[in-house]
Structure 1
């Protein structure tokens, strides 16, 4: 509502003159706080995270009994930009640990060591019985989110993402020296 302040000239006689104006609300209301969205681990699952790439050496799916198989992960931080309740939200997910299952009852992890290609050999598994085995890798991600460019906040919980299963066949072999 626009309120106008009118005043009389000095001495109280004469014409009215405008003295000034100001804007004032007709009612007083409490200001509503701005509510920003919060991202949960279920939201991160819905947005989707990529599986890590599993590396197996020797390549090709055939391994020799009692010789370590080198396993390693190629994985990186993932960023997803989404809209939530009209706000721009950035979700940042970081691989925290890796769990391998080798199909023969053996497993490795969870471990924070992603391993590396040969000659690193820091993450290995040795088959002791001939057979064909499914090898699975599960990556555990932690996540954080930022609403409208504000500082990142952590998401409670973690998200596990399974990579496609690889198959290895373990063969008995004989060592032969050649020249």
Structure 2
């Protein structure tokens, strides 16, 4: 680990800065296009009440179930780890309204932090777009950020908003 040879001191280890022929080693860089190509799973979009039928003027609870994703791939012969983290969530409710982007994924009832209230009867598609940031590591080196973000759409859910009346029963 001294000062001789093609080695230099790293943060906690030594690594060569050149190949056996004396040429520098060029490590791959990962782009947003690469992350898209590797693919990220769509988060689960959950709606409450479940079942697709809602009542006008009563909030519908929406929430995303998304977790960080890790993918291990080979790029130009190097092992590469890509980590993608959900950053924001955007809901489109099909009636012209949307929510987000927000960093709040929402949560199951009784949290009700991400809701929408329908005011007109009809059938509406509800979509969720999750925006991920990403970082990558080549051959176990420290992680570096990927420039840009990746949007992933979850499958649309369909809700039907019905007019109704509230009846108290005992």
The gaps in structure 1 that reach 5 residues or longer are 1-29
State the secondary structure of the residue aligned to 2:91. Answer: strand
Partner of 1:148: 139
State the secondary structure of the residue aligned to 1:176. Answer: coil
**Quick one: which of 77, 86, 94 aligns to 2:85?**
94
Between the aligned partners of 2:168 and 2:32, the Cα distance in structure 1 is 55
Partner of 1:164: 155
Partner of 2:9: none
**Structural RMSD (CA):** 0.8
CA shift at 1:31, angstroms?
2.4
Between the aligned partners of 2:110 and 2:28, the Cα distance in structure 1 is 47
Partner of 2:62: 71
State the secondary structure of the residue aligned to 2:33. Answer: helix
Q: How many matched pairs? A: 150
State the secondary structure of the residue aligned to 1:37. Answer: coil
State the secondary structure of the residue aligned to 1:55. Answer: strand
Between the aligned partners of 1:150 and 1:42, the Cα distance in structure 2 is 21
Larger Rg over CA atoms: 1
Between the aligned partners of 1:145 and 1:99, the Cα distance in structure 2 is 25
Runs in 1 of length 4+ with deviation above 6 angstroms? none
Q: Deviations over 1:52-84 (max 9, x none)?
A: 001100000000000000000100000000000
The gaps in structure 2 that reach 5 residues or longer are 1-20
Between the aligned partners of 2:77 and 2:168, the Cα distance in structure 1 is 69
TM-score (normalised: structure 1): 0.83
